[in-house]
Amino acid sequence: MIVELDNNLSHYAEVIKKALHVDVKDVPGAGAAGGMGAALMAFLGAELKSGIEIVTTALNLEEHIHDCTLVITGEGRN
């Protein structure tokens, strides 16, 4: 199933490139969420950014952890 999904996303990227002249194939994050990032880039001219970069900038995290020796993070599911 993973191979089929990868093949379909590659085909999607080829269709976008041919129709809109926007190359999304090797853009990090473009294939996430079923190609939503690619669609936003191709159809709306969006710029993809790393989610963690947005969060750390919004929280000014670097300033808050500047003097820390250890930072513990986590990601989980409900």
pTM over 0.95: no
42, part of any domain: yes
Could you give the number of structural domains in the chain?
Answer: 1
Is 65 part of any domain? Answer: no
10: containing domain: 2-49
In a domain, 74, yes or no: no
| Averaged pLDDT in 10-residue chunks for the chain of 78 residues | 88 94 88 85 90 92 94 81
The angle at the Cα of 14, spanning 23 to 43, to the nearest 5 degrees, equals 55
What pLDDT shows up at residue 28? Answer: 86
Is 8 a member of any domain?
yes
Rounded Cα gap, residues 15 and 74, in angstroms: 38
Sign of torsion over alpha carbons 49, 3, 8, 26: positive
| Distance of alpha carbon 48 from alpha carbon 45, whole angstroms | 10
pLDDT of residue 17: 94
